[in-house]
């Protein structure tokens, strides 16, 4: 058979999957125009992206230069060996338009299907487009080494009025049942969350600051579910309708070099939420939003947080835990080399009355506070509307250490607050080199303690003399406080 004849028989998919050459991410991102500028977008549908460029690590503000963390053994998944020239699946080759209004969902689904079936594939969202997609779950299992690279802009429909009626209103992009996937890029995931935040059912959005009844589901922007060996790095993620990232039922997760941004008054916009997930590393990221910077839910173990800057927002929170008399277990959480500024809370543990289980092995080490209202707080009386009934059981909070926590606090509240259960007190709280001074005004020197047991290893500023010594007998051999 002649050469010309053989060429005619090459399969047409060669025009779709551009294999055997590298892809370099661009160093800039595209951003949604502000409201009223003529750039308001609507429509919906489409997904995916891939990255081969180095992650963008947000610079530290001012003079704060935390030390770059070293991954602890066993927490961060190792990068798999990849070929020098991966196969690249550009969503435009599957029909995506990228003009900010066209529904590109089907193109993304087709690109995902092809990339998922290829070893070391890169699903590329190119840097010169704005791609709108509706609710989609990208499911595995997939072949090894899959990268979803967002170099352009990826976004959902613009608010609840544009959300397809048939779509799930509680989540947008979901990655499920995957092993060894990377989500990264030099682009932006834009959440178009403003109209969701302004629903009358949101906190203080109704008339005269009230909250009205009615449908209030809002989508998490990016959710990882029942997956392992995940890497998320280098992206800018902004204006999520609700949580920006959520990890449920996952293991061996590395988050590195993210820039997460939403307004301080955007409700329930947690930056990164972890639940029923173990061996998690969150590094080198800046998060400003309207709720918890990082929130850690039940079933979370071995979480390492380093070199993270938070604020404004509600700080770094463990909880809330034990709602509706449930058992909650969290263990081995470390926060190190962090900066929290202009936040309602700093380092917080919050549990509901009536819960069971335990929070244990928590380390806060080298944390800088700047104008934080509640710098150190343990609240075992957490309640959303302050009308909760007193209950006799609680999630046990134990083995919590605060070392080298320094900075300034907002004098509207005491900088140190331990409100623990009468029947299940907090135990083994240790404090060393804690120095907190008022950002302005006079020193508030009355830390609050209730049923809190622990020790001061060095003098604390302000002085804290309310910690009790020893261990209460009521906690010994209590089966309700046992975790794995």
Active site residues: 314
290 to 61, 169, 179, 206, 240: CA distances (angstroms): 19, 20, 32, 18, 10
- CA dist., res. 410 & res. 343, Å (int): 9
Residue 426 and residue 419: Cα distance in Å, rounded?
9
What is each CA distance from 155 to 140, 224, 236, 300, 363, in whole angstroms? 22, 17, 12, 29, 37
Spatial contact of 112 and 45, defined as CB atoms under 8 Å apart: no
Q: Nearest Cα to 368, choosing from 399, 396, 327, 336? A: 336
| Tokens matching residue 288 | 């400003």
Residue position matching structure tokens 């590195």: 256
Q: What are the DSSP calls for 86-100, one per residue?
A: -EEEEGGGGT---EE
SS3 label, residue 111: helix
Q: CA–CA separation, 51 vs 346, rounded Å? A: 34
The CA distance from 265 to 197, in Å, is 9
Which 8-state DSSP code applies to residue 34? P
């Amino acid at each position: 058979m002649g050469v010309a004849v053989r060429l005619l028989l090459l399969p047409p998919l060669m025009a779709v999957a551009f294999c055997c050459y590298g892809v370099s991410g661009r160093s800039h991102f595209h951003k949604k125009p502000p409201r009223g500028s003529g750039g308001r977008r609507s429509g919906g549908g489409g997904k995916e992206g891939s990255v081969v460029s180095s992650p963008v690590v947000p610079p530290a503000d001012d003079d704060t230069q935390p030390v770059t963390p070293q991954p602890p053994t066993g927490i961060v998944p190792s990068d798999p060996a990849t070929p020098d020239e991966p196969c690249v699946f550009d969503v435009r080759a599957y029909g995506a338009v990228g003009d900010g209004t066209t529904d590109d969902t089907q193109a993304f689904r087709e690109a995902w299907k092809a990339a998922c079936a290829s070893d070391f594939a890169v699903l590329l969202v190119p840097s010169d487009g704005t791609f709108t997609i509706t609710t989609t779950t990208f499911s595995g299992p997939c072949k090894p080494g899959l990268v979803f690279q967002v170099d352009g802009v990826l976004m959902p429909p613009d608010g609840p009025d544009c959300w397809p009626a048939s779509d799930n209103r509680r989540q947008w992009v979901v990655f499920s049942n995957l092993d060894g996937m990377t989500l990264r890029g030099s682009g932006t995931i834009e959440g178009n969350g403003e109209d969701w935040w302004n629903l009358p059912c949101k906190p203080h959005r109704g008339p005269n600051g009230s909250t009205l009844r009615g449908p209030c589901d809002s989508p998490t922007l990016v959710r990882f579910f029942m997956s392992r060996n995940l890497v998320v790095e280098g992206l800018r993620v902004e204006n999520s309708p609700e949580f920006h990232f959520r990890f449920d039922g996952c293991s061996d997760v590395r988050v590195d070099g993210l820039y997460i941004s939403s307004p301080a008054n955007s409700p329930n916009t947690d930056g990164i939420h972890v639940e029923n997930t173990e061996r998690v590393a969150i590094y080198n990221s800046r998060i400003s939003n309207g709720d918890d910077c990082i929130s850690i839910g039940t079933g979370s173990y071995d979480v390492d947080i380093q070199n993270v800057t938070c604020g404004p927002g509600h700080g770094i929170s463990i909880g809330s835990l034990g709602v509706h008399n449930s058992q909650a277990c969290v263990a081995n959480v470390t926060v190190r080399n962090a900066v929290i500024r202009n936040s309602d809370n700093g380092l917080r543990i919050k549990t509901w009355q009536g819960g069971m289980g335990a929070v244990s092995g928590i380390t806060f080490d080298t944390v800088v506070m700047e104008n934080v209202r509640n710098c150190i707080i343990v609240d075992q009386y957490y309640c959303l509307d302050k009308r909760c009934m007193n209950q006799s059981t609680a999630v046990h909070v134990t083995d919590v250490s605060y070392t080298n926590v320094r900075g300034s606090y907002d004098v509207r509240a005491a900088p140190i607050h331990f409100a623990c259960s009468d029947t299940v007190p907090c135990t083994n709280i240790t404090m060393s080199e804690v120095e907190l001074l008022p950002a302005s005004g006079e020193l508030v020197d009355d830390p609050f303690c209730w049923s809190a047991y622990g020790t001061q290893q060095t003098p604390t500023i302000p002085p804290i003399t309310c910690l009790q010594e020893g261990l209460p007998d009521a906690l010994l051999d209590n089966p309700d406080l046992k975790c794995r």
